[in-house]
Amino acid sequence: ASAMARLDVTETFCQITFPGHLHTQESLRYATDFQFRDTDTLIVTYPKSGTTWMQQALTLLFNRGDATVSQTVPNWARAPWLEQYYCPEVLKASQGPRIITTHLPYHLLAPSLQGSRAKVIYVTRNPKDVAVSYYHFHKMANFLPQPGSFEVFLNKFLDGTLNYGSWFDHVKGWTSQAKDNRNFFYITYEDMWQDLKGSLERISTFLQCPLEAEELNSTQRHCSFSSMKENAMVNYTQISEEIMDHSKGQFMRKGKIGDWKTMFTEEQSRHFDQVFESEMESSQLRFVWAY
Ligand code: A3P
């Protein structure tokens, strides 16, 4: 295995506890002024779209299926959130390829990404499932307000007033510059769910990090929902109760597609479809969700 391809993880990474708090003005400025390196890979998602899953996938791909890092270093430390205050600390010492995560909208990062050859991986998920997952996450994440009823929460989702704003703007913004951009890779949670191995292969091709069959098999194994649910380095059980209260729900909750059907009423689904149609009218992307 090439040493170059390996993820650069320093000791200090593991010492930092996950910040439950939302970003500050200062950390936001750090993000917008960030100097990307051509060897960086940026994972971009709207919350609850498969962020942790992609963090795990990239960790294993860069480590050629060797699970050591993915089992000993928490995800937030091996793929820090650019907008979180601890990011400079984590990235300070690293020299090699870095995985960085963000939920920020495109317009905030566009200036620093332009002119850089950093790779961007954008993951989307059926927004109905995102809304349901985000709703449950609000119940257990103590740094977020209590969600209230699902009806109330869903309206906030559709109005774009939740943390990180409008899902529609997020997706439209990031995918608007995908065309002819060889450093941009678009994938859905559903792609990964339906064909994890094929998705991992496509990602590894994009990253120019080809794996041997056994390395790919190992990557796939450690990215399965059942494996990640048990892995304390990705299931957030190491986090203090003040930040995430696992007695109120699990971070690795269901890991399914189409779970929205257990929450949405017919009326809510119809209304959602109408908002989706009008919001996404201007988007080149065609979403197909058969579930
Ligand atoms: P659910 O709440 O629907 O179960 P994020 O990491 O962006 O916050 O997204 C969290 C969602 O991704 C949760 O969805 C979680 O269960 C799901 N997830 C995490 N790892 C997964 C995996 N290996 N396979 C399927 N879903 C996964």
Which is higher by pLDDT, 24 or 50? 50
Q: What is the pLDDT of residue 27?
A: 83
Instruction: Give the model confidence (pLDDT) of 93-102 as tens digits.
Output: 777 799 999 9
Confidence grade of residue 51 (pLDDT, cut at 50, 70, 90):
very high
Residue 141: predicted pLDDT: 92
In a domain, 156, yes or no: no
pLDDT in tens, 88-128: 988 987 777 999 999 999 999 999 999 899 999 999 999 99
Q: Which domain holds residue 101?
A: 11-127+166-246
Position 283 scores a pLDDT of: 81
Question: If you take atom 2 of ligand 1, which residue's CA is the nearest one?
Answer: 133
Q: Give per-residue pLDDT as tens, 210-262.
A: 999 999 999 999 999 999 999 999 999 988 888 899 999 999 999 999 999 99
Convert the pLDDT of each residue in 194-211 to its tens digit: 999 999 999 999 999 999
Tally of structural domains, the chain? 1
The model's pTM: 0.93
> 37 in a domain, yes or no?
yes
Residue 10 has pLDDT above 60, yes or no: no
pLDDT value at position 191? 95
Question: pLDDT at position 180, please?
Answer: 80
Within-domain flag for 199: yes
Which ligand 1 atom sits nearest the alpha carbon of residue 55?
A: 6
pLDDT of 48 above 90: yes
Would you say the CB of residue 259 lies under 6 angstroms from ligand 1? yes
Pocket of ligand 1, candidates 138, 200, 236, 253: which has the most ligand atoms within 8 Å of its Cβ, to mutate? 253
Cα(41) to ligand 1 centroid in Å equals 20
pLDDT digit string, tens, across residues 56-94: 999 999 999 999 999 999 999 999 999 988 899 889 877
Q: Please indicate whether residue 47, judged by its CB atom, sits closer than 6 Å to ligand 1.
A: yes
Is ligand 1 within 6 A of the CB of residue 48? yes
Q: Which residues are catalytic?
A: 103
- Check: CB of residue 18 under 8 Å from CB of residue 73: no
Q: Interface pTM (ipTM) of the complex?
A: 0.99
Percentage of the chain exceeding pLDDT 90: 75
In this predicted structure, what is the pLDDT of residue 241? 86
Residue nearest (by alpha carbon) to ligand 1 atom 25:
255
- Does residue 177 lie within any of the structural domains? yes
pLDDT above 70 coverage of the chain, percent: 90
What's the CA-to-centroid distance between 136 and ligand 1, angstroms?
Answer: 12
Confidence of residue 14 (pLDDT cuts 50, 70, 90): very low
254 in a domain, yes or no? no
Q: What is the CATH number of the domain that holds 206?
A: 3.40.50.300
Among protein residues, the one whose CA lies closest to atom 23 of ligand 1: 225
Q: What is the pLDDT of residue 243?
A: 87
- 280 within some domain: no
Structural domain contains residue 281: no
Average pLDDT in the chain: 89
- In this predicted structure, what is the pLDDT of residue 6? 45
Per the domain annotation, does 288 fall within a domain? no
Tell me the pLDDT band of 289, cut-offs 50, 70 and 90.
Answer: low
